[in-house]
Amino acid sequence: MIMNKIKVTIWNEFRHEKTEDEVKALYPDGIHAFIAKNFSVDAPEFEVRLACLDDDECGLTDEILNNTDVLLWWGHMFHGDVPDHIVSKVVDRVFRFGMGFIALHSAHISKPFQRLVGTNGHLSWGENQKELMWNVMPSHPIASGIPEHFELECEEMYGEPFHIPQPDELVFVSWYKHGNVFRSGCCFTRGLGKVFYFQPGHETCRSFYDPNVRKILVNAVRWASPNDIVIPTPNCGFREKIIK
């Protein structure tokens, strides 16, 4: 089967991994590099590049954004350090050019996610514990090959209420050992672009090692990719008669 090359950029704050031994031990080259390594095995047709907060222009120059089909975003403590003009470029790429955006874990309060969904993305959170993730939309492309439910032995609890608009599609719902539930896999359509929020990925947990999480990320990139979208004229103006 010939697969389309999908240009993927994985963005990460990449600060915890430099300063916290526990995180460094799990993700020595950064969470973004770890996800990229998984993609090189699971989806070699992806053309992957890395970007992080401390790169020039946060690693998101026009050249890079214009050559990104899907942008994955892992941010946690430094959302405010991403300049607004970069956020505007990301949001514009999604709305007008169909770039996919995948918000991982604490990117629920990242500036681009907030701007894309239109709410603050706040949620309840608690200590790390066992999570059961339920596949509530098995027909969805992101759920392809994912069982009815699977277990993550240790994840940070993210619980309802989750301040997001009603997702266009809800693919995963999670239960946590201490009783909370959460909409953990949510799809939104924004302009020409597709947005997926996915809960797992706390920096001291091994979720990105999990085979189901790995598969979901591959599925999500394929789903969010603009593929064959014919981009309409970005600035619409006066038209001569189409039918004379």
Nearer to Zn ion, 193 or 200 (CB): 200
> What's the min distance (Å) between Cβ of 178 and Zn ion?
16
If binding is defined by CB under 5 A, does position 156 make contact with Zn ion? Answer: yes
Under rule CB under 5 A, residue 16 binds Zn ion:
no
Q: Is the Cβ of residue 22 or residue 168 nearer to Zn ion in the bound state? A: 22
Q: Dihedral (C-alpha) 238, 241, 243, 244: value to the nearest 10 degrees? A: -170
Number of residues this chain uses to bind Zn ion (CB under 5 A): 3
Whole-number minimum distance, CB 202 to Zn ion, in Å? 4
Q: How many CB atoms lie within 10 A of CB 21?
A: 7
- Between 75 and 226, whose beta carbon lies closer to Zn ion? 75
In the bound state with Zn ion, the residue whose beta carbon lies nearer, of 15 and 202, is 202
Piece in contact with Zn ion (CB under 5 A), picked from 92-100, 147-155, 201-209, 223-231? 201-209
Among 79, 89, 202, 214, binds Zn ion (CB under 5 A): 202
The C-alpha atoms of residue 221 and residue 8 are separated, in whole angstroms, by 8
The verdict on 131 binding Zn ion (CB under 5 A) reads no
Distance CA 221, CA 228 (A): 14
Cis omega (within 30 of 0) for bond into 161: yes
Burial class (CB in 10 A: 0-12, 13-18, 19+), 92: middle
d(C-alpha 90, C-alpha 46), whole Å: 20
CB of 129 to Zn ion, least distance (A): 12
Q: Six-digit token pair at 116?
A: 């894309």
State the DSSP string of 138-152: TTSGGGTT--SEEEE
Residue number, 32 or 202, with CB nearest to Zn ion: 202
Q: Shortest distance, CB of residue 233 to Zn ion, whole angstroms? A: 41
Surface-to-core class of residue 137, CB atoms within 10 Å of its CB (0-12 exposed, 13-18 middle, 19+ buried): middle
CB atoms within 10 A of CB 104: 30
In whole angstroms, the minimum distance from the beta carbon of 211 to Zn ion comes to 21
Binding part of the chain for Zn ion, among 4-12, 110-118, 135-143, 149-157 by CB under 5 A, reads 149-157
Determine contact, residues 114/198, Cβ cutoff 8 Å: no
| Per-residue x/- track, 98-127, Zn ion (CB under 5 A) | --------x---------------------
Task: Give min distance, CB of 111 to Zn ion, in A.
Answer: 17
Based on the number of CB atoms within 10 Å of its own CB, is 134 exposed (0-12), middle (13-18) or buried (19 or more)? middle
- Please identify, using beta-carbon distances, which residue of 106 and 180 lies nearer to Zn ion: 106
Q: Give contact residues for Zn ion (rule: CB under 5 A).
A: 106, 156, 202
